[in-house]
A and B are shown apart, each in its own frame.
Chain A
Amino acid sequence: MDTVKTLARAWPIHLVVLVVGIVSQLIGVRSIPIGIGTILLLPLLFAFVFTLLLNPHVVPPMGRLIRPRLAAAASPLIVVAIMPFIAKFGTTIGPSIEEIIRSGPALLLQELGNLGTIALAFPVAIWVFRMGRESIGAAHSIAREPNIAIIADRYGLRSAEGTGVMGVYVMGTLFGTFVFAIVASVLATAEVFSIEALAMACGVGSGSMMAACSGALAEAVPGSTDSIVALAGASNLLTYATGMYVSLFVALPLVEWMYRKIRPDDPGNRRPAETQEATS
């Protein structure tokens, strides 16, 4: 059958993942103390770096080991590989459902924390880097797949806004897990916010960002692993449901409005205005 044939073709990829996974897991969690807290290096980060170094697109001599076309077959496997992980998260949420419901208001409202990116990243993109309408795509959201779909739908991916959102998407794919692991472990050990709040905030991005983030929290505060996992998982599930709407109805109109106030003379402002008029 076809199913068996494609498996036979992809086996080198699975084998690489198996070997890299075992090596990464044997290395385990390594911690680096810095002044304000501790940075935790997790096995999943090692695994990512190792396969990046084995990737023929990144390190061309690796083409002798893994053909570039074969490496492309790994792409649809990312979402498949996250499934058992998501299932485990679900089974942690179920037993803690009462705690989740008690934290309901906090869980719902923290979805608006997405807007924090506008406060921090948008001004830097506009005033420090003098970026144009790329800043709208780049800074309106955390740039995961639903956000790309919104930008693609409204502006097209070849537009300035599309370039911005794709840039952040790719940077997120490459470095997002590291940023989340580092920020979460530093904040957990710095004790500014409660661990429950930090756990909820872990759910704002992709599955692997959540994994790195909640993993770092769980290592930093070992006693509350179940609670951390349950809150992060619930928040991530909520992000699937609400994130797109926060992005579409709140964040994107807000950055678009801000950009027009700051740069009223940008000729690029005209096109989306026309399409808006056409659709309303």
Chain B
Amino acid sequence: MTTHETEEDFLPSGDDRSLVLTDTLRDVAVVTVIAIPLQLIATDLSLLQVLAGMLALYVVCVIGLLLTTFLPFYLPSVAWISLVGIALTMPFMPWAEWFVGLVSGIDFLALAVPCLAYAGLAISSLELSVMRRSGWKILVVAVLVFVGTYVGSAAIADLVLRVTS
């Protein structure tokens, strides 16, 4: 169980090789089940369509997690899952149309809701003490960091898109 006792072991979730595969597969399954009612609220899909879509996404996660565990070089599991999702849905794949049909109706915004719910519960007393110690100045700097990064990236992307298209 992760309780952040000191700041030295406060290096969360960056390296996920330590996750036990069976536990992770079980937890992804639980999260997938939680997502079902949320999808029913967010979309016009039938229960069967939601079940099929979520099962398809679960399969993508499972393949990604297996690759993370068993391939000799390390990439974060989310990167593998993303790559598996891309590989399965490339236009030239024989099953691409069928697979995209399964998942295209799934609402991506509703999929992010459980994640943020866990995040709210996971805020620990250590994080609150870091916040109190750093104070409002770090908050202002942090907001400027986010705005600066976002606007910086958007400005470069916009410029390059204008030049190249």
Contacts and interface: CB of A to CB of B under 8 A. Distances in A.
Nearest to A112: B156
A262 B4 CA distance: 36
B47 interface: no
Interface in A194-232: 194, 196-198, 200-202, 204-205, 207-209, 211-215, 218-219, 229
B138 A201 contact: no
A248 B42 CA distance: 41
Contact of B103 (A81, A91, A170, A219): A91
B113 interface: yes
B71 interface: no
B161 A51 contact: no
Contacts of B104: 91
A106 interface: yes
Contacts of A176: 142, 146
A218 B14 contact: no
B133 to A, nearest CB: 8
B73 interface: no
A73 B148 CA distance: 33
Interface string A60-84: 0000001011011111111111111
B64 A88 contact: no
Binding site of B, secondary structure by majority: helix, strand, loop or mixed?
Answer: helix
Interface residues of A, number: 141
A193 B155 contact: yes
B121 interface: yes
Contact of A87 (B26, B64, B128, B161): B64
A250 interface: no
B142 A94 contact: no
Given A22-B37, A87-B84, A167-B138, A237 B154 contact: no
Given A81-B115, A88-B103, A91-B99, A113 B78 contact: no
B157 A196 contact: yes
B48 interface: no
B28 A80 contact: yes
Contacts of A84: 28, 31-32, 35, 54, 57-58, 61, 111
Contacts of A90: 60, 81-86, 88-89
A229 B111 CA distance: 13
A229 B108 contact: yes
Interface residues of B, number: 109
A258 interface: no
Interface string B138-165: 1111111111111111111110110010
Nearest to A26: B41
A17 B118 contact: yes
Contact of A48 (B15, B86, B93, B120): B120
Interface of A: 3, 6-7, 13-14, 16-18, 20-22, 24-26, 42-45, 47-55, 57-58, 66, 68-69, 71-95, 97-98, 103, 105-107, 109-121, 124-125, 129, 131, 134-135, 138-139, 141-146, 148-149, 152, 157-158, 162-164, 166-168, 170-177, 179-180, 183-184, 187, 193-194, 196-198, 200-202, 204-205, 207-209, 211-215, 218-219, 229, 233, 235-237, 240-241
Given A83-B64, A183-B151, 10 more contacts: A21-B34, A43-B110, A57-B124, A94-B88, A114-B149, A116-B153, A131-B137, A149-B11, A163-B133, A218-B109
Name the 4 nearest CB pairs between A and B, nearest first: A90-B85, A116-B152, A94-B89, A113-B153
